[in-house]
Structure 1
Amino acid sequence: MTGEERRQHERTAMKARVRVVHRLFGEFDFSTGDISDGGLFIVMENDHFRPELGDRVTVQVQGLPVPAPVLDMKVVRRTDDGLGLQFENC
């Protein structure tokens, strides 16, 4: 890893609907921008969901024929376009 690049996992562009739950802000549905073995990026368009870096959330993919697992994640990056979330077991 050189320069500003600190990623440990290769990212793959992927669009999926996910439900994100924060203990203070409640539930929100977003689209993913990309996913990797370490986490995912959710795209946010003018939303009121603005957690702090380090906040814990749960994430569940929506729209599957069976309920997806609920994943524990941590907010690790914020951009103008959305949030980077890291899987808690990484």
Structure 2
Amino acid sequence: MPVDDRRIHCRTAMSAKVKVTHERLGEFLFCTRDISDGGVFIVVENEPFVPEMGDRVSVQVQGLPIPAPVLDMVVVRKTIDGYGLQFDESVN
């Protein structure tokens, strides 16, 4: 890992469809790029999804045989192609 990489959890590449709901911006469908014990990275291409760091969102994996749980997450990182979301341990 690079010296400035502060991640404490190993990431695993995983592509899944997730529904992300933001109180102000609305509901979106995105694909994940990776997941870890601490959170997930969502790929945002041409959607009008521009949250602020620290915003809370609800995330639910789509396409499973039964409805997945809805998890509360926090926006913690922005890159050129998406956002890093961290599990909100204060709620889940």
Using structure 1 for the length normalisation, give the TM-score: 0.96
Amino acid at match of 2:88: E
Structure 2, unmatched stretches of 5+, are: none
The aligned counterpart of 1:74 is 74
CA distance in 1, matches of 2:77, 2:2: 19
The aligned counterpart of 1:54 is 54
Shift of 1:89: 1.1
- Decide whether aligned partners of structure 1 residues 15 and 4 sit closer, same or farther in structure 2, where only a CA change above 3 A counts: same
Shift of 1:3: 1.8
Shift of 1:5: 1.1
Shift of 1:85: 0.1
Q: How many residues align?
A: 90
Shift of 1:38: 0.0
Q: Deviations over 1:7-52 (max 9, x none)?
A: 0100000000000000001100000000000000000112100000
The aligned counterpart of 1:7 is 7
Q: Deviations over 1:34-86 (max 9, x none)?
A: 00000000001121000000000000000000000000000000011000000
* Runs (4+) off by over 2 Å: none
Amino acid at match of 2:63: G
RMSD (Å) for aligned C-alpha atoms: 1.4
CA distance in 1, matches of 2:37, 2:4: 20
Shift of 1:2: 6.5
Amino acid at match of 1:68: A
The aligned counterpart of 2:23 is 23
SS, match of residue 19 in structure 1: strand
Structure 1, unmatched stretches of 5+, are: none
